[in-house]
Amino acid sequence: MFIAHLPAGYLLSRPFARRNPLQARAIFSTGLLCSVLPDFDLVYFYLIDQRRTPHHDYWVHTPIFWLVAAAAIAFLLIAAGRRNQLVLVAVGLLSVLLHLVMDSIAADIRWFFPFADLRVNLVHVQAVYKPWYLNFLLHWTFALELMIWLVAGYLGVRDFRKPRATGTGAA
């Protein structure tokens, strides 16, 4: 997916933030950052790799890498007695995995790498138009992306306007 990662991260973080009002800001920051984190590999793709490898083939687009990273961070937090921050690890991991689920719709994602090379790609977007991105913008999956933006935008505006009546801070 192109543009829906960020609003999807918002929608994912929202219930966690509502349940943990004292950490809401940190939860949203983590969720939003992690919802786009795998795509930071585009910097490497364009600037260093010179577009030789599809960026979905980099290890930051493999779920097992993130599972191991999240487990390591969770372990360190527990060892440091900072269990209250585990919710951030959970939100971060789920946001990254959601990114990969969304990428699996129209791109190749190797869900079991390095143990298997199975590639998950639910919809093959045909190369009909030029430039290449028009193939995605004019595909029905892009309507799905706009829907995600609409829902997130609606809820975001509603939350922003609503006075924080429920947040007693008793967490």
Q: Can you give the length of the chain in residues?
A: 171
By the rule CB under 5 A, 31 interacts with Zn ion: no
By the rule CB under 5 A, 39 interacts with Zn ion: yes
Task: Report in angstroms how near the CB of residue 39 gets to Zn ion at its nearest.
Answer: 4
Task: Report in angstroms how near the CB of residue 29 gets to Zn ion at its nearest.
Answer: 19
Both structure tokens of 7:
């609003």
Q: Which stretch binds Zn ion (CB under 5 A): 29-37, 39-47, 85-93, 152-160?
A: 39-47
CB burial string 30-48: b at 16+ within 10 A, e below: bbbebbebbbebeeebeee
**Number of continuous H segments (helices) and E segments (strands) in the chain:** 7, 0
Closest CA to 153 of 4, 2, 1: 4
By the rule CB under 5 A, 49 interacts with Zn ion: no
Both structure tokens of 64:
């097992």
102 contacts 1 by C-beta, under 8 angstroms: yes
For residues 107-166, which are near Zn ion according to CB under 5 A?
none
| Cβ count near 144 (within 10 Å) | 15
By the rule CB under 5 A, 103 interacts with Zn ion: yes
Give 26 or 105: the residue with its C-beta nearer to Zn ion: 105
Closest CA to 136 of 105, 158, 92: 105
Give 53 or 84: the residue with its C-beta nearer to Zn ion: 53
Q: Inter-axis angle of helices 86-106 and 5-19, to 10 degrees?
A: 150
Q: Which stretch binds Zn ion (CB under 5 A): 34-42, 46-54, 78-86, 120-128?
A: 34-42
By the rule CB under 5 A, 38 interacts with Zn ion: yes
Give 3 or 171: the residue with its C-beta nearer to Zn ion: 3
Q: Which stretch binds Zn ion (CB under 5 A): 43-51, 103-111, 128-136, 145-153?
A: 103-111
Residues near Zn ion (CB under 5 A): 38-39, 103
